[in-house]
Homo-oligomer: A and B are copies of this chain.
């Protein structure tokens, strides 16, 4: 067996409780005592047994992160940010990739690892306002990352979808583009972020005194490279004229960019393009993709801190919603050399 607090007590010559007090930073301890205990801990290489501590305290120091999957760049980068934030607070992260689809998302709420985490950060795509009661019925502290509101009944972190989309579109308009595509809404608008980003796009168009042209709004069934490529292929076939593209996420943008280049169009000379998400990859594409940086680190920080607040505060605490800021990363695909234009908002 490994070294326990009992061994530390024996070696240091103090009682078990005194050692425990040292570990937990209790105030009333003679410095000398503290020092001798710490020496013994050091000497033995003692580390508290988390299971026992957890059993006693009801805490595990582990939080869960529920995401659709890890192989999508967006979620991998989100997970990375959450893990770094959590690690800074001494928390470990248990990732649960649940696959896509509403059924899987619901099943995850009853997941088998729920009882070994202090709380859960839940990145959902398909849950909507109607599921607020369901989420409230889960007795694990919960923070949702997502763009659908739950009537303020559930802690939620959301990103600046509309403002970010508007800034991206305005940037294209400011560069003289007049026919900017919105790529790509969802049929039926089941995904909230699509709706919000489309709204931001429209705001920018109308604020510039241009007419909102439904022909420039295209659709894709998946927000992946493939969807972006397919949409763009169809647009070119249809002969729609445009000189700018605001893609609702980076992979759509990359897929579209690829098709545009295959068709002989130059980026940004013929078509300027801006994405959304600031995936690592966008820095390495040719040309480097301009994009809205949703500040994943801020999202992760807000999520972890809100979760900790909920864990401390219990279910009675009033739910909060936080919208994080964004910045616009102007790269080659929209004509920038590589400056950064920043515009941030923060609202509770």
A interface residue numbers (CB < 8 A to B):
1-2, 47-52, 54-55, 58, 60, 62, 69-71, 73, 76-77, 79-80, 83-84, 90, 92-97, 112-116, 139, 224-226, 229, 255, 258-259, 262, 280-281, 284, 286
Contact = CB atoms under 8 A, between A and B. Distances in A.
A337 B234 CA distance: 23
A73 B286 CA distance: 19
Contacts of A69: 80
Contacts of A229: 284, 286
Given A83-B70, A94-B62, A50 B116 contact: yes
A229 B325 CA distance: 34
A70 B62 contact: no
Contact of A83 (B58, B62, B97, B258): B97
Nearest to A79: B70
B224 A284 contact: yes
A47 B77 contact: no
A28 B192 CA distance: 55
Given A76-B71, A83-B97, A280-B71, A51 B55 contact: yes
Nearest to A53: B51
Contacts of A55: 49, 51-52, 55
Nearest to A47: B115
Contact of A225 (B70, B255, B258, B284): B284
A322 B80 CA distance: 30
Contacts of A1: 58
Given A52-B55, A70-B83, A76-B76, A139 B95 contact: no
A336 to B, nearest CB: 19
Given A73-B71, A76-B71, A92 B92 contact: no
Given A94-B93, A115-B2, A60 B51 contact: yes
Contacts of A79: 70, 95
